[in-house]
Every structure is written in C-alpha cells, then in structure tokens.
C-alpha cells in the first residue's frame, strides 16, 4: 500500500516574500505569521514578507521564519485531507516536522528555533568556524579525510550526508580547509565553501547544547502523533523523552538525510512531499532514489497541482 511522507526544508531555503501571496489571500494562513510575531515579540512577518534578505538570512531569523512559513503552507495543504504516514525535516526542518506531528505546538516550535538560532550563533565566535560542500566523494573516504585532520588538532567532521556524492563538512576554518584539500586528493570533484554563520552540526556546537536543553526542558513536549524520522539516527522516534535527547544531539551531530530518506522508503514510502519554500529536499530525494514520486508545495498553485496529482493516484 502506498505511503506518504511530508518533509520540511532547513536553513538556506529562506527567501524574502515566501508565503506572502498565500497569507494575503487566506486569513487562516496569515494567522500563523501573526502568532509568530506575538510569540517572539517582534515583527518576524514583516521581515519574511519584505526583507531585507540579508537580515532574513541571519540564523536567529531564518530558523523561525522557515518554520512559520512551512507550517502555514502545511495547514493550507492539509485542508485537502491529504495526510502523512511519516514526517522528517532537514536540521531546522526537524522542528517543523515535530510541529506537524503535534509533538510541539506551533508557538513552542517558533520559540525553540529562535532560541536555537541564538545559541548556535553564540557558540563559536564569528569567522572561526565554517562549512563546505564536498561533491563526488564517497562517505568512507571523506570520513577518513576529516578524521585525520580532526585528530591533528583542527576540528572538522561530516555534517550533512545529503545524497550520494554530496556531503557537507563542518568545523574550524583551518580544519575545513585542510579536510577539503585531502578530499580533493582522494578524488572529490569539487569542494564548495558555504556562506554560513557557524560550524553547524560539528563538535564546536556542543556549548550550545546545554542552553538548548534548558529551553526544551521548559516545553510541554508530547509524544509524536505521526512517526518522525530523526536526523541523528535515521530511525523512527515518537516518544517525547527520546525526541528531546535527539534534538540536543542533533546540534553537534551529522544530519543523516540520505539514510533518513532510505529508511522511509524501506518503511513503504513511495511519495515524498516537500512542504515549504524551495525544492532543495526534492532534488536530494530524486538523487537518492529516482523511482519514488517527489512533489514540492510552496504556494497555492503548487498546492492545487499536487492535490490533483495525488487524487488521480488515489492517495
């Protein structure tokens, strides 16, 4: 029997004006942006709709902005009656998935990711850490390259295992540089430095984990009503106590996205719907397995297109 997964994008998919047309036309969608403003006590909605893009891209703004926009789009899309058998999100998107699975309320999710963004920006002084995408090298070879550099005293590790041939490394500026050189020596086609404000999903993020734990301890987290595939284990999590620990671990551990998608496929998922701005995850999923159906929903037109396609397939 056909199964559906909703997946939610992470930081980097934000764009000025995302969700605006849908919010202008549907008051119930606008409600989410208004709730985010009230929860955070600043005009996040104005920043999302009007920019400037440079301000929206800052980690402390991008994270709540993406969660808000993705959940607003999800609410509109779900009015069609289409439901998910599993949910997952890439890094920040995991919090969106947990709101979708009702483990967190929308307000809790927005608050948590705003604080998460603050802690992540504060963990490492600006300019001391960075990330780079390594293309065309297998996981084992890249892991060996980063491990040898890390053991020599320059922190670096695998951060995002996105799809075959695309892995992001993260750590100290020197560590990422040296690991990038070793990756090229091992056969990597390209090493692309990323414009980020810190070494996310590396051991350098551990100082932020204590502060994040205090925030998560203050939330009324529930067991997930829909199974969630965890970034750090690429396995199902549903119990509140487990979810909290996995979110803390996620800060300084690699995002096993390729493994997570493969896990959902192994569980019978043959239809993936990316909900939120952009099509980053849709592209990755197609590279992981071309046999599955992949859709992306970001506005009213794409919502209707996907709803009609799924009705034809009788999902």
Residues recognised as catalytic: 91, 201
How far apart CA 32 and CA 97 sit, in angstroms, is 16
Q: Which of 230, 191, 198 is nearest to 89 (CA)?
A: 230
Q: Interhelix angle for 59-78 vs 106-123, to 10°?
A: 160
Q: Are 228 and 103 in contact (CB under 8 A)?
A: yes
Q: Are 51 and 104 in contact (CB under 8 A)?
A: no
Query: What are the b/e assignments for 211-220, b being 16+ CB within 10 Å?
Result: bbeebbeebe
What are the two backbone dihedrals, phi and then psi, of residue 244, each rounded to the nearest 5 degrees? -60, -45
Q: Are 212 and 119 in contact (CB under 8 A)?
A: yes
Burial-class residue 159 by CB neighbours within 10 Å (0-12, 13-18, 19+).
Answer: buried
Region for residue 82 given its phi and psi (left: phi exceeds 0; alpha: psi -120 to 50; beta: otherwise): beta
Q: Which of 34, 96, 99 is nearest to 274 (CA)?
A: 96
Burial-class residue 1 by CB neighbours within 10 Å (0-12, 13-18, 19+).
Answer: exposed
Strands 269-275 and 293-297, by their bridges, are: parallel
Distant-in-sequence, close-in-space partners of 11: CB < 8 Å, separation ≥ 6: 59, 62, 63, 66, 91, 92, 200
């Amino acid at each position: 029997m056909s199964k559906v997964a909703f997946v939610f994008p992470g930081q980097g998919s934000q764009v000025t004006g995302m969700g605006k047309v849908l919010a202008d036309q549907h008051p119930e969608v606008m409600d989410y942006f208004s709730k985010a403003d009230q929860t955070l006590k600043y005009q996040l909605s104005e920043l999302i709709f009007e920019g400037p893009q440079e301000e929206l891209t800052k980690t402390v703004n991008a994270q709540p902005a993406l969660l808000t926009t993705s959940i607003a789009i999800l609410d509109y899309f779900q009015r069609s009656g289409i439901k998910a058998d599993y949910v997952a999100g890439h890094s920040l998107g995991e919090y969106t998935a947990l709101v979708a699975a009702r483990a967190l309320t929308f307000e809790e999710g927005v608050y948590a990711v705003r604080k998460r963004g603050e802690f992540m920006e504060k963990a490492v002084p600006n300019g001391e850490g960075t990330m780079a995408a390594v293309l065309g090298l297998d996981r084992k070879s890249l892991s060996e390259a980063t491990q040898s550099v890390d053991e020599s005293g320059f922190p670096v590790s695998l951060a995002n295992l996105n799809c075959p041939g695309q892995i992001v490394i993260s750590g100290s500026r020197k560590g990422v540089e040296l690991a990038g050189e070793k990756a090229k020596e091992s056969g990597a086609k390209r090493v692309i430095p990323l414009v980020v404000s810190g070494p996310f999903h590396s051991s350098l993020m551990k100082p932020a984990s204590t502060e994040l734990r205090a925030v998560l301890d203050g939330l009324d987290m529930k067991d997930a009503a829909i199974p969630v595939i965890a970034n750090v284990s690429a396995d199902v999590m549903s119990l509140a106590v487990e979810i909290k620990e996995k979110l803390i671990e996620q800060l300084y551990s690699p995002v096993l996205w390729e493994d997570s998608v493969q896990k959902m496929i192994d569980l019978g998922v043959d239809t993936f719907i990316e909900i939120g701005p952009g099509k980053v995850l849709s592209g990755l999923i197609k590279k992981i397995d071309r046999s599955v159906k992949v859709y992306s929903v970001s506005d009213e037109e794409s919502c209707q297109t996907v709803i009609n396609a799924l009705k034809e397939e009788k999902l």
